[in-house]
């Protein structure tokens, strides 16, 4: 419960919602007895190093970093670093589909760094280049897909 209270203190009220690209996490009653939504904390630390996010998340919940990592892993079945990378990739997908920003601007805005590193991570995760993804989602008629 300390972790949840710390996250809520940093993130604001429970009624706030993330944009539609943020994943929903199920109710976790066994460990924390409250909802565990770390993504509500991520936007405030979008450009921070993962280590900084991790240290601040633990401190805000009045937990040791080790205990915070264990709760994070047990509740979400992933590491904080993998979670943040996934969150940033989801944000990049939204920017590719909905904006005319350059790939370099999207890489920087999503916290994924240079365009070459962004492209490498994106290909590994999505199975296509950022440019291919953009073409697929910005021209739905050509690909038989609905714009989202």
User: Residues, the chain, total?
Assistant: 148
**Cα 43 from Cα 87, distance rounded (Å):** 10
pLDDT given for residue 87 in this prediction:
82
pLDDT given for residue 120 in this prediction:
92
Q: pTM of the entire structure?
A: 0.59
**Cα 10 from Cα 122, distance rounded (Å):** 29
pLDDT given for residue 64 in this prediction:
86
- Cα–Cα distances in Å, from 36 out to 16, 41, 70, 88, 98? 14, 11, 13, 19, 29
Cα 63 → chain centroid: 22
pLDDT given for residue 123 in this prediction:
92
Q: Which domains does the chain have, with CATH numbers?
A: 2-77 (no CATH), 86-143 (1.10.10.60)
pLDDT given for residue 3 in this prediction:
54
Mean pLDDT by 10 residues, the chain (148 residues): 50 37 34 41 49 74 84 82 84 88 87 86 91 83 52
Dihedral sign for Cα atoms in the order 105, 106, 109, 112: negative
Longest dimension (CA), the chain: 52
């Amino acid at each position: 419960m300390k972790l949840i209270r710390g996250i809520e203190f940093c993130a604001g009220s429970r009624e706030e919602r993330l944009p539609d690209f943020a994943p929903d996490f199920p109710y976790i009653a066994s460990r924390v007895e409250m909802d565990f939504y770390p993504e509500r904390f991520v936007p405030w630390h979008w450009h921070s190093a993962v280590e900084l996010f991790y240290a601040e998340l633990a401190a805000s919940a009045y937990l040791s970093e080790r205990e915070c990592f264990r709760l994070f892993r047990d509740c979400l079945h992933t590491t904080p670093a993998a979670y943040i990378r996934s969150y940033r990739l989801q944000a990049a997908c939204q920017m590719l589909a909905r904006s005319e920003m350059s790939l370099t601007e999207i890489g920087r805005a999503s916290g994924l760094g240079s365009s070459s590193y962004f492209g490498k991570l994106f290909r590994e995760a999505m199975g296509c280049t950022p440019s291919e993804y953009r073409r697929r989602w910005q021209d739905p008629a050509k690909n038989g897909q609905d714009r989202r």
